[in-house]
Structure 1
Amino acid sequence: MLGLLTKPAILLGVILVSFTSHATVAPASLGLKIDAPTLYIVEDGDTLWDISALYLENPWLWPRLWQSNPEIENPHLIYPGDRLYLTWHNGQPILSMKPKVKLSPSVRIVDKSPLPTIKPELVLPYLDSNLLLGQALVENSVRVLGASHGRQLLTEQDVVYISGQQPVSSWGIYRQLATFTRNEHIVVALKRIADAEHVEYAEQLTRLRVIEPRQEILPNDIVLPDNFEALANATNHFYPTPASVGHSAQILGSLTGQRYVGQYDVVVLDRGLVDELVQGSMFELYQQGAVVKLDNAKQVSLAKTHIGNLVVIRPYQHFSLALVSQSTQPIGVDSKLLAPPLLSGEE
């Protein structure tokens, strides 16, 4: 019978879910929840993480449960109204989808947006506003020279000047936040503080009109065109998946300069694309065990304690921005990041 179930307080909020009946078999090595629904109808407001947490003890193992549907154009996208079916094959659970209308082997028409992985309000502000840029690019970037009226606090429609003839129509104005280092690689964290549009340019200067300022604009702030390559490929549609077995990472710091952060804060990691990280790579967070002295004066370290989880939301070549998706205590640079361990049956 189709009914409503209120989910427990899972990682990213409480939502109502619709289902028919429940699986009664015991969880397999994948970590399927005992009360996982055999049919789930996707609702507005759901996220991929919510649904993953509904089925799995470890939501980042979603790719092992989800069976892509080859009959639709974008098999990895899930939409409100889709019906997800839990079945079993060779003793392993499989979650698949049957489109309500089969139009052709490669076309699917929908009038809704696909589910985001994590609630947009947690991720999009960082994807839209924060950027890691190499030090050399920062040093050679176009800068704000000032405004004719001389004031530093600008309002919407104020005009600022930047150096050179810049014909690009749409721009972002950025403030430097912090610098992070990994061996010989150095990046600067930037925050977008205003949008701007091209007005005109003269022999040595370009005028930009400020639109939607978030805070005051200062001389020497960095100005980047919106078609800048480093601003591309930011999306909230990605799969949570465990980082490769044996991989570890180090938190270099937070974007805000805080010594400790908590759930839903964003940090900078010393690993990136060259280390096989992708959007959605998951790490477990641990607090190193205390060192104690035994009766024989020998020192030993106590077992580390699991204190949360972290997901990469934007990988760069040698660094990444990552969201603390769950934490039970403050997270700092001394917290240890380890790839989730292998489950039984994995190689």
Structure 2
Amino acid sequence: MLKKTLIFSSLISAILFSSPSISSDDKLVLKQDYPEQYTVKKGDTLWDISALFLDSPWFWPKLWKINPDINNPHLIYPGDELTLSWHNGNPVLSVKPLKKLSPKMRKVVKEPVPTLPTSLVVPYLQSDRLIDDVNYQTSYRVLGTSDGRKFLSSSERVYVDAELSHKEWGIYRVVNEFSRQDDKASSYALRLVGVAELAESNEDMSGLKIIKQQQEIAINDVVLPISSDEIKTELTTTFYPQPAPKDIDVSILGSIDGGEYLAVNQVAVIDKGSNDGLLQGSMFSLKEEGNIVNGNKGEYYYEVDKDTKKEGIQLPQTEIGELIVIRPYEKFSLALITKSEMPIHKGVIAVSPDEE
């Protein structure tokens, strides 16, 4: 029997209605041109579908939780029809399942609708990764090849400085290093350069047979086990967005390969992770800190050194983008820029949308 793949229906999000007389829990505001019905199609992403209904994806649970007819609103099937209705003045999203014409019909494996385009997420689930300082220092390293060559054809061997037993291994190159200010923790950004299988092993070293190579393999490259179970059980392309925890101080450290500026669909490294309460799907609003203006009328000037305590007029923060965590680690995370009105840099502030 072919396995039926369920699809997360984290399609819907909402902007909280801001009014002195209406609390944020009472009202959800939809787009002016929202559809009353929509049928999920192959090739859709949850992000694209949510944009049909709302402007922001992080408050989507508020649209589902008041609907008692749905046992699990996270799961839908391709072909299901989404219908928008109203309950006590609030919008409610319900699902009309795709009808099965016959119980004897052959089941078809359906590709899950990802939250974001898989091309943007998959490399950071299966290839690029972060590793903390302790694991980096103790990780296995490439010794090289018997003849010293760097480019190897399929089935040729590269040797590693340990006795190994795991079957499949990734060979990684260090491309950047990051650190946290609060506890001085360090993390190294790794880029996959090759995939290999265990061919031989003894107490001094192991030989790996190269299966796939993306660039040259060099002495001292990092060797880590590849575990498909981690991707299947902990990480997915169909995670759903949710507000990041409140009162969490997040800094953008740059791109995984060292770039200082990022734009839409690029991945940033941030200095908080699962130990700080972040999950795959945690979302942040990105804001530019306002300048401090000093001087008298007609003689105003910007305060160059913002660390000084000199009094002045603090200009307000400006919202310039959004990002979503696609792979959390213990103390760091990889997060995709989903919206950007200007280049995102290290000075940009990341805050939970629940704090706005």
Query: What amino acid is aligned across from residue 270 of structure 2 in structure 1?
Result: L
Q: Which residue identity does 2:222 align to in structure 1? A: I
Q: Is the 8 A contact 1:63 1:239 kept in 2?
A: no
2:224, 2:174 → 1: CA distance? 13
Distance 1:170 1:245 in 2: 40
Contact 2:170–2:195 under 8 Å retained in 1: yes
The residue that corresponds to 1:328 in the other structure is 341
The CA deviation at 1:324 is 0.7
Q: Report deviation, 1:277.
A: 1.3
Task: State the Cα distance separating 1:198 from its structure 2 match.
Answer: 1.2
Contact 1:269/1:320 (CA < 8 Å) preserved in 2?
Answer: yes
The 1:85/1:110 distance shift into structure 2, 3 A limit, reads: farther
Alpha carbons 2:194, 2:210 under 8 Å: kept? yes
Paired residue for 2:178, among 177, 180, 192? 180
> Matches of 2:76 and 2:84 in 1, distance apart?
15
1:245, distance to aligned residue in structure 2 (A): 3.5
Query: Where does structure 1 lack aligned partners over 5 or more consecutive residues?
Result: 1-27, 104-108
Measured on the aligned residues, the alpha-carbon RMSD in Å equals 2.5
1:252 maps to: 253
Q: In 2, Cα distance between the equivalents of 1:278 and 1:46?
A: 23
Q: CA deviation at 1:69?
A: 8.5
Cα distance in 1, alignment partners of residues 37 and 228 from structure 2: 44
Aligned residues: 310
SS of the residue corresponding to residue 334 of structure 2 reads: strand
User: 1:243 touches 1:340 (CA, 8 Å); kept in 2?
Assistant: yes
Q: CA 1:102–1:185 in 2, change beyond 3 Å: closer, same or farther?
A: farther
Q: Which amino acid aligns with 1:278?
A: L
Residue of structure 2 in register with 1:93 after alignment:
91
| Kept after mapping to 2: 8 A contact 1:294/1:300 | no
Cα deviation, 1:310-343, whole Å, max 9, x if unaligned, reads 1111112221110111111111110111111468
Give 1:31 shift: 2.2
Query: Aligned pair in 2 of structure 1 residues 222, 181: CA closer, same or farther (>3 Å)?
Result: same
Give distance in 1, aligned partners of 2:195 and 2:283: 32
Q: Does the 8 Å CA contact 1:267/1:322 hold for their aligned counterparts? A: yes
| 2: CA distance, partners of 1:90 / 1:335 | 40
Distance 1:86 1:164, change over 3 A: same
Secondary structure (helix, strand or coil) at the match of 1:212 reads strand
8 A contact 1:281–1:311 mirrored in 2: yes
Measured in 2, the distance between the counterparts of 1:192 and 1:75 equals 36
Cα distance in 2 for residues equivalent to 1:234 and 1:80? 21
Q: Which residue of 2 aligns with 1:241?
A: 242
TM-score (norm: length of structure 2):
0.80
Counterpart of 2:79? 81
Write out per-residue CA displacement over residues 92-150 of structure 1, whole angstroms, 9 at most, x where no aligned residue: 111121222489xxxxx762022111111111111111221111111111111000121
Aligned to 1:286: 287
User: 1:9 — aligned with what?
Assistant: none
SS state at 1:60 partner: coil
Q: For 1:303, give the aligned amino acid.
A: P
Q: How does 1:153-164 map to 2 (within 5 A)?
A: 153-164=151-162
Does structure 1 residue 316 correspond to structure 2 residue 315?
A: no
**Cα deviation, residue 202, structure 1:** 3.4
| Counterpart residue number, 2:169 | 171
- Is 1:143–1:162's contact at 8 Å kept on the other side of the alignment? yes
User: Which amino acid is 1:272 matched to?
Assistant: G
Measured after TM superposition, the shift of residue 166 of structure 1 is 1.1
CA drift of 1:71 comes to 6.8
Provide Cα deviations, 1:225-246, integer angstroms capped at 9, x if missing partner.
1139877622111111122344
Structure 1 residues 170-179 or 285-294, which shifts more?
A: 285-294
C-alpha distance after superposition, 1:176-226 (max 9, x if no partner): 122222214222111111110111123422111112211111000011111
- Matches of 1:310 and 1:248, distance apart in 2: 15
| Identical-residue share of aligned pairs (%) | 44
> SS state of the match for residue 97, structure 2?
coil
What is the CA deviation profile of residues 247-280 of structure 1, one whole-angstrom value per residue up to 9, with x for unaligned ones?
Answer: 3411122111011111111111111222221111
User: Contact 1:65–1:93 at 8 Å: present in 2 too?
Assistant: yes
Asked whether the equivalents of residues 79 and 115 of structure 1 are also in contact (C-alpha less than 8 Å), the reply is no
Indicate which of 45, 48, 51 corresponds to 2:49: 51
